[in-house]
Amino acid sequence: MDTYLAGCLTPERTMPTPNPAALEFLSTRRSTPPKLMSLPVPSAEELAPLLQAAVRVPDHGKLEPWRLIVLSRPAMVRMADLAEARAVERGGDAEMIAKGRGQYDQGHLAVVVVASPKENPKIPASEQLLSAGCVCLSLVNAAIAAGWGACWLSGWPNHDRTFVERAYGLAAHETVAGIIHIGTPTTPVADRPRPDLGALTQWLAE
């Protein structure tokens, strides 16, 4: 056995305190597509602790390089119309319109995670964007842990500068890290094939 690995497994080593339930949750969690979610959705009071958990993420320099926009059903309807209008402006076909409207037509509640990087000579924008991505996944996991269905999406409108400025009022330096849909699962979601960890992992012992 490799000397480094053997040292990690010696009986004298003080072992950490495990949390099997948390590890089991993370090992089995599954997202639920918006089309497989329905009402009810979390109330403002139920959503608040999920948002609080979501922003408990790595944030070098405590910059808080993200912000959240909650979309209720009426807002989703407006976003669908804005997406269709933008698709028409761009000369899009019926498929582009349908894809643009899709998640807003299907969703009942969503949280837009906005990456809002701050000027800082020590912390690159790429690292701040990763922090915003952490917020996305943390919100998905918090919602699932609370018993809801949840899913992280984007879609072409959220990579369209004109749309995100019209729809969400984003500043020039801001982007959409993701849209997190939350609702009640209506159909069990089958697991999908997972990555081959052995093919993706390299150990550097020295």
pLDDT per position as a tens digit, 4-33:
555 555 557 788 999 999 999 999 999 999
Domain boundaries along the sequence of the chain: 31-72+110-187
Rounded CA-CA distance 87/160 in Å is: 10
Q: What is the mean pLDDT of residues 81-104?
A: 97
Q: Is 130 annotated as a binding residue?
A: no
* pLDDT tens digits, one per residue of 134-193: 999 999 999 999 999 999 999 999 999 999 999 999 999 999 999 999 999 999 998 999
Q: According to the annotation, is 154 in a ligand binding site?
A: yes
Per the annotation, does 152 bind a ligand? yes
Average pLDDT over residues 79-99: 98
> What integer is the mean pLDDT of 109-130?
97
Whole-structure pTM value: 0.91
Residues found in the chain: 206
To the question of whether residue 153 is assigned a binding role by annotation, the answer is yes
Higher pLDDT, 5 or 91: 91
pLDDT at 15: 85
Question: What is the structure's pLDDT at 7?
Answer: 55
56 is in an annotated binding site: yes
Q: Which of 11-15, 38-42, 69-73, 167-171 is predicted with the least confidence, judged by mean pLDDT? A: 11-15
Beta bridge partner(s), residue 150? 182
Write down the CATH number for the domain with range 31-72+110-187.
Answer: 3.40.109.10
Pick 117 or 5 by higher pLDDT: 117
Give strand pairing partners of 175.
115
Instruction: Measure the CA–CA gap between 46 and 28, rounded to whole angstroms.
Output: 23
Residue 60 is labelled as binding a ligand: yes
CA 161, 168, 172, 153 torsion: positive or negative? negative
Whether residue 100 contacts residue 164, with contact meaning beta carbons closer than 8 Å, is answered with no
pLDDT in tens, 140-150: 999 999 999 99
Radius of gyration in angstroms for the set of CA atoms belonging to the chain, rounded to a whole number: 20
Q: What is the mean pLDDT of the chain?
A: 94
Contact between 54 and 42 under an 8 Å Cβ cutoff? The reply is no
CB atoms within 10 A of CB 22: 10
Whether residue 61 has pLDDT greater than 60: yes
Q: What whole-number distance in Å separates Cα of residue 108 and Cα of residue 185?
A: 12
